[in-house]
Each structure stands twice: as structure tokens, then as C-alpha cells.
Amino acid sequence: MVRRARKIDRVLTATYPDAHCELDFADAFQLLVATVLSAQTTDVRVNLTTPALFAKYPTPEAMAAANPEDLEEILRPTGFFRAKTKSVMGLSAALVERFDGEVPPRLDDLVTLPGVGRKTANVVLGNAFGKPGITVDTHFGRLVRRFGWTDETDPDKVERAIAEIFPPKDWTMLSQRLIWHGRRICHARRPACGACPVADLCPSYGAGPVERAAALKLVKGGPYPTV
């Protein structure tokens, strides 16, 4: 299973050579806030919202001191805007009060911030600080189960299981590649099995259309090198 898992990753590396975090950010604070805002919405929607947000509140100090109603209005398009307002104001205040306004580069510190769990912390560690992190979002969890790498559904247990298969140096980019593959080909409801570059390695092949023409209609983006 480990050999097959690593071969899948090699194929996905060739398929998505430009895989990266699709949230726009200029620094660790922006990525932290954007990741919190990405819950229950798309990265595209977050990227449309954050320019105005960071223009008005560029620092933790400014965001912590924001008028909640003004912040809610900016965040409204992302959904759950009241809860998200509370989270980003709370984490900003915590950064100011406990970390001198700087985003801490340690997972144990990041998860103490309001609205920040291990998934968000690992996104920030991997993409803002270059530290290994496994990002178990809905796409990642779905794919590792389809690939047969784990049967776990709890994100923390998924993270531990995958950490036993891949070395730390691979964690961040593995996360990006699986998320890209989940968004583009291995969809939740109808995966494009007939257009999948790892079809011959996947124990879940056949969960979606296997006829190539039908599968290609389901692919988002592309074309991809090995599809």
C-alpha cells in the first residue's frame, strides 16, 4: 500500500506541477485569516473578498479594533459571516495580546487562536513558513479514503495515518496535489474516473464514469499532462 501510495503521489506530481495554495495572501496573517474565511465557501469567493478586507484592516491590530458590523458587511459574501467576524477579530486580538501582533510559526501556538484548528494551522505552517504540514480538508480526506490509504474519518486520525506513509518533507505539497486533484477530477459525487491519471492505481476506480468522453466532461480546468 505504501509503494502504491507513493506512486500515486509521483503521478500527481507530474499531473499538477504547479500545485499551490489557491488562497491569495501576502503574509502569514493574511493567509491565516483567509484560511479561516474559507470554511464552507470557495477559495475563489475568499479571494474576491480579502482585497477589500486587508485594505481596510491590514494588521492584527487594525482587525482586532474593527467595528464588528463593518467587518460583517465585508465578510457577508463568504457565508457564516457573523461567526467568521468573531473568529478573525478574536484571533487578531490574541495575536496582539499574546504574540506581539505576529503569527506564531508553531502548531501548538496556532491552534490556541480562536477559529484555528489543525487544518488551518497546517495550511499556514506549510505555505507561509515552509514547515511540513498535512492539510486534511474535505478533498484530502475523501481522496485518501478512496485511495485506500486509511479508513479513518476523523481529521486528526487521518493526519496521523498519512504521516506514517509519507516523510515530512512531502506533507505540504502532497496536501496541495490531493486538494487540486479533488477539485479538478476526483469529485465527491461524480469523480471523473475515465479521465483520471491514477485510475490504474486506485481501488475506487469506477465510482464515477469510466468512459473517457463522459469523464472528460466532468474535469474542471486542465488540460493536465498525464490525463
The set of catalytic residues is 119, 137
Contacts of 114 (CB under 8 A, 6+ apart): 86, 87, 90, 91, 94
C-alpha cell at 51: 482585497
In this structure, which amino acid lies at residue 92? S
Q: How far apart are CA 101 and CA 134, in angstroms?
A: 25
The DSSP 8-state label assigned to residue 190 in this structure reads S
Rg (CA), the chain: 19
Q: How far apart are CA 173 and CA 179, in angstroms?
A: 10
In this structure, which amino acid lies at residue 203? P
Q: How far apart are CA 155 and CA 66, in angstroms?
A: 33
CA 105 to each of CA 37, 121, 135, 139, 223: distance values in angstroms, whole numbers, following the listed order:
20, 9, 16, 25, 36
DSSP 122-149: HHHHHHHS--------HHHHHHHHHTTS
Angle at 185 between CA 182 and CA 186, to 5 degrees: 50
